[in-house]
Amino acid sequence: DIQMTQSPSSLSASAGDRVTITCRASQSISGYLNWYQHKPGKAPKFLIYAASSLQSGVPSRFSGSGSGTEFTLTISSLQPEDFATYYCQQSYSTPYTFGQGTKLEIK
Amino acid sequence: EVQLVESGGDLAQPGGSLRLSCVVSEITFSNYAMSWVRQAPGKGLEWVSTISGSGSSTYYADSVKGRFTISRDNSKNTLYLQMNSLRAEDTAVYYCAKARGRFGDLDYWGQGTLVTVSS
C-alpha cells in the first residue's frame, strides 16, 4: 500500500497569512494527488485534483504543485472560512490512501 | 447541484450487520464510479470501497474485505454498503462520494451517516 504523510499535523496561522502544507508519498504516484478540505459535521470538499488542477468553484487562493512523491498545497491569503482540516489523497492505485490530515487553526 | 444523501447508520452489536444507502441526484448515476469513505471518531479519512459505474468492478480496503459488500442500483440512483461481521473498529461516520472521472478522485460527498458498533 502507498503511505501518504502530511506535514505539519497542525498549523496556527492568521487571516491573510500564506500557508503551505506538504504531502509525501511512500512511492511515486506520478501526479495522481488530490486535496480535500474538511470541517466538523460537514461533507469533505474537493479542492484540487491531479496535483495542481483547481476544482470548479474553488477560490484561486488555493493552489497545488508537485509530482512523483512530493506535493504541496498553498493557500495564498487565508480567509476565515479556510480554517479546517486538509487531507491529501493518492488516486494512483487502490487502496486510495489519505494523509493523516493537517488541522489549520486560527492563531 | 449534485446531491448525495446517506442513510442506514445505526447502533449495531459486534458481529452484527447493517446496510447503508446513498441516494444520488442531478447526475447520470451510471456514468460514474462511487465510493465509501469513513472517519472514525477523532481520526482521519479512510477509503473503504469503490464500485465502477456499471457495477462490474469493485475494490475494497483490506480492513473490510470479506465483510463488506459495495453494490449499486442504477435504476434507483442508489449506492449501497452491506456491512457484516461488524467490529468495534468499524465505528465511524460513513460518507458516500462520487468519482470525478478517475475512480479515486472524489468530487462530491454526502453529509455522512454514523455507524456505532457496541454491545
pLDDT 10s digits, B74-117 = 999 999 999 999 999 999 999 999 999 999 999 999 999 999 99
d(CA B13, CA A98): 28
CA distance B23 to chain A (A): 15
Residue B24 has a pLDDT of 98
Residue B68 has a pLDDT of 98
pLDDT, mean of residues A22-27: 98
pLDDT, mean of residues A48-59: 98
Residues of B at the A interface (Cβ-Cβ below 8 Å)? 4, 35, 37, 44-47, 50, 59, 61-62, 95, 97, 100, 102-112
Type of residue found at B10: D
pLDDT, mean of residues A62-70: 98
Q: Encode burial over A18-43: b for 16+ CB neighbours within 10 A, e otherwise.
A: ebebbbbbeeebebbbbbbbbeeeeb
d(CA A46, CA A51): 12
pLDDT, mean of residues A84-104: 98
pLDDT, mean of residues A68-84: 96
pLDDT, mean of residues A79-104: 97
B19-78: pLDDT as tens digits: 999 999 999 999 999 999 999 999 999 999 999 999 999 999 999 999 999 999 999 999
- Choosing among A45, A96, A98, A100, which should be mutated to test the B contact, i.e. which has the most B CBs within 10 A? A96
Residues of B in contact with A94 (CB under 8 A): 47, 50, 59, 104
Residues of A in contact with B97 (CB under 8 A): 44
Among chain A residues, the shortest Cα distance to B41 is held by A40
Residue A38 has a pLDDT of 98
A26 and A91 Cβ atoms separated by less than 8 Å: no
- When pLDDT is cut at 50, 70 and 90, the band that residue A107 belongs to is confident
Residue B93 has a pLDDT of 98
Max intra-chain CA distance, chain A: 38
Q: Number of H helices and number of E strands within chain A? A: 0, 10
Phi/psi at A89 (5° precision): -155, 135
A99 and A23 Cβ atoms separated by less than 8 Å: yes
A47 and A35 Cβ atoms separated by less than 8 Å: yes
